[in-house]
Chains A and B, each alone.
Chain A
């Protein structure tokens, strides 16, 4: 169980934690090389670029070439971190991720920022809500969505250690810090942030803090809600999720992603295949709609990715 700092009002973007951790890793491991596609200021790889210009490659606005080039470096023994906006790193370059990277078991880390609706004002062309679906469908691909800055640092360190292709989904907007420094992330493990008996919210990314908020409000109304943070979407911690589902018999998933193909579908499959109890199940996500321009916070309200909406489902 993670150490949740529920009273914290501090907000940090996961991309900021990524940039900071990448810089630290660069000092520790000379095999780490970083690629960006003309977005190093936004993705925060600029910090690594400034310190290690010889190991940083700005590939220009050419994501397909960037991903396949990284695969070549990985086959030569390097550990490439590849960054762009999630829309382009996973969408534009999907086929390169599939064939150049995953099919070659190439040790490439696709760490993409600006995922989901919380990209904000740029609007639908940049708000990818399909990336979890298209990345997890690739055989052998690991898919991780950190919930806050502390977890992001842990995730980036864990994926650098792990030998194999990984997709890490990061965000633009500042999000509440949930964890303290004692937290330890592990690939394939979910984290029960709060125990409860009446329902389980299984959340990922920006929705984790909202799930905690919902659980807190529910508690004042006499309802006991369990909250599980699933950062490791693939591999999925089926054991932890199914155990909770069997206990509470009611599961709601929450994600800043299309309801089709995201965390919800993975959790639904895990429960259908493994739960011994009859479990009621609901998904909260983007309801098969494209996003639009607006502030991150406003968009989450507009598309009902809120604690209030979660409360209405428990």
Chain B
């Protein structure tokens, strides 16, 4: 993997805020969607796209030297579409048609309709396998691109996730960084009450992954962890998992850590209040 990336942390913070604001506007306009998990990954997406960690080309989304991001938690589509819009893959104003008939902005991220989305997801537990596929392909081509995957914590209850963790280590996919959005909430409640995942780091270590645990809302920590990940992967030729401790609904006080905001759209007054807080 390539060396340390220099990051403009102010830009990352600014873009993360824009991702949050646009995501909420999209979900409000659609009257449906998933605010909680979009807000929890806004800082991670911003670091990847605007912190200099991902190489991409909006004019040529399929450019051979681009880095790859697989977002396995396809329901966080508002944050992903907002990020890609801000990155210049399309006019971000179009995302206001999210979830409407005929709009490219499907409820769960769609690779056929939206430039910059590498692979459609939505059914949980597929994404790390998909990312492994991209990582294997890059190795076959001797292409030095990086492959990132953003996984939800809840989806790690799917057995396929662990098949994929096992395979990534088996094939020594040192071009792969998986970031786990550890917001500890899933649709029915807390992950630890629904189906406990802890100790997640121990499980990943047991699967022979490098691990890092960070505050997933601190741009400096995210930046440092990504740089550290490239080093670790290069040092032992193994993939890296970054457990990003996050807060579901982060940035909007009444949504934070609230199970009820997993998949509910803000009403007019909720949106106004949220935008006021985010300003």
Contact = CB atoms under 8 A, between A and B. Distances in A.
Contact of B137 (A62, A65, A76): A76
Contact of A95 (B70, B123, B134, B137): B123
Contact of A75 (B130, B166, B167): B130
Among A62, A65, A70, max chain B CB count under 10 A is at: A65
A75 B163 contact: no
A20 to B, nearest CB: 23
A59 interface: yes
A273 B133 CA distance: 42
B18 to A, nearest CB: 28
A72 B119 contact: yes
B121 to A, nearest CB: 8
B140 A69 contact: no
Contact of B129 (A60, A64, A80): A64
Contacts of B159: 64
Contacts of B126: 68, 71, 96, 99-100
A266 B149 CA distance: 41
B160 A64 contact: yes
A64 B126 CA distance: 8
A55 interface: yes
B254 interface: no
A59 B132 CA distance: 11
Nearest to A105: B112
Interface in A56-102: 57, 59-60, 62, 64-65, 67-78, 80, 95-96, 99-100
A209 B136 CA distance: 42
Interface residues of A, number: 29
A33 to B, nearest CB: 7
Interface of B is mostly: helix
Report, as a range, how many residues of chain B touch the other chain: 20 to 34
A76 B132 contact: no
A75 B111 contact: yes
Contacts of A33: 136, 140
B45 interface: no
A295 to B, nearest CB: 35
A125 B122 CA distance: 30
Given A60-B167, A65-B129, A72-B70, A99 B123 contact: yes
A69 B129 contact: yes
B123 A78 contact: no
Nearest to A68: B129
A54 interface: yes
A78 B132 CA distance: 13
Given A60-B167, A70-B133, A75 B119 contact: yes
Nearest to A96: B126
28 contacts: A60-B163, A62-B166, A64-B160, A64-B163, A65-B129, A65-B160, A65-B163, A65-B166, A69-B133, A72-B119, A72-B135, A73-B133, A73-B136, A75-B133, A75-B134, A76-B68, A76-B134, A77-B137, A80-B133, A96-B126, A96-B129, A100-B119, A100-B123, A100-B129, A100-B130, A104-B112, A104-B119, A105-B112
Interface of A: 33, 54-55, 57, 59-60, 62, 64-65, 67-78, 80, 95-96, 99-100, 103-105
Given A75-B119, A76-B133, 10 more contacts: A55-B140, A60-B163, A60-B167, A64-B129, A72-B137, A76-B137, A76-B138, A77-B137, A104-B112, A105-B112
Sorted from nearest, which 5 A-B pairs have the closest CB atoms?
A72-B133, A68-B129, A76-B137, A65-B163, A62-B163
